[in-house]
């Protein structure tokens, strides 16, 4: 199984959905086999996760599968919880997804070379114009 893509896709999807669960006061529980949870712990930042707490919106439940008396058994092995900031931290993302438009535009403009500057008529668009328009559209 491709653990890398499964783990990353799962965490990205959780990151996109967990804020909604927080806003409506519900919990989201990822139930997975211990080998996937172990892979996530090795490859992503899971050090900040804590033992499961009722108030946290995101819970991880790791189950192990084993053979006993010739039969397959399923047993709860580990439980943790966190919030949307914790999921972002697992992925190495900023804890705040609210980045101001002005800041984003300023970073984009700083990377624009003279060859790629938008020209209106014969004059190039002045540096800083996009960021200033984002704040003051007049």
pLDDT tens, position by position, 77-128: 999 999 999 999 988 886 454 555 666 667 777 777 767 666 666 665 555 5
Q: How far is CA 107 from the centre of its chain?
A: 22
pLDDT bin (cut points 50, 70, 90) of residue 72 is very high
pTM of the predicted model as reported, rounded to 2 decimal places = 0.62
pLDDT bin (cut points 50, 70, 90) of residue 64 is very high
Question: Out of 25-34, 49-58, 60-69, 97-106, which region has the weakest mean confidence (pLDDT)?
Answer: 97-106
All structural domains of the chain with their residue ranges: 3-90, 101-135
Q: How far apart are CA 80 and CA 35, in angstroms?
A: 15
- Secondary structure tally for the chain: helices H, strands E: 5, 6
Q: Dump the DSSP string for 22-68.
A: HHHT--EEEEEEHHHHHHHHHHS--TT-EE--TT-SEEEEEEEEEEE
Compute the average pLDDT of residues 32-47: 90
Secondary structure (3-state) at 129 = helix
Q: Would you say 88 and 95 are in contact if contact means Cβ atoms under 8 Å apart? A: yes
């Amino acid at each position: 199984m491709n653990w890398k893509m499964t783990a990353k896709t799962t965490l990205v999807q959780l990151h996109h959905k967990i804020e909604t669960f927080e806003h409506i006061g519900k919990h989201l529980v990822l139930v997975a086999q211990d080998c996937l949870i172990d892979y996530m712990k090795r490859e992503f930042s899971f050090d900040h996760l804590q033992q499961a707490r009722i108030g946290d919106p995101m819970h991880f439940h790791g189950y192990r599968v084993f053979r006993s008396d010739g039969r397959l058994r399923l047993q709860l092995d580990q439980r943790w919880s966190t919030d949307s900031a914790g999921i972002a931290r697992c992925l190495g993302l900023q804890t705040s997804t609210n980045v101001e438009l002005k800041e984003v535009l300023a970073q984009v403009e700083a990377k624009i070379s003279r060859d790629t500057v938008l020209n209106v008529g014969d004059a190039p668009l002045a540096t800083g114009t996009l960021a200033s328009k984002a704040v003051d559209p007049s």
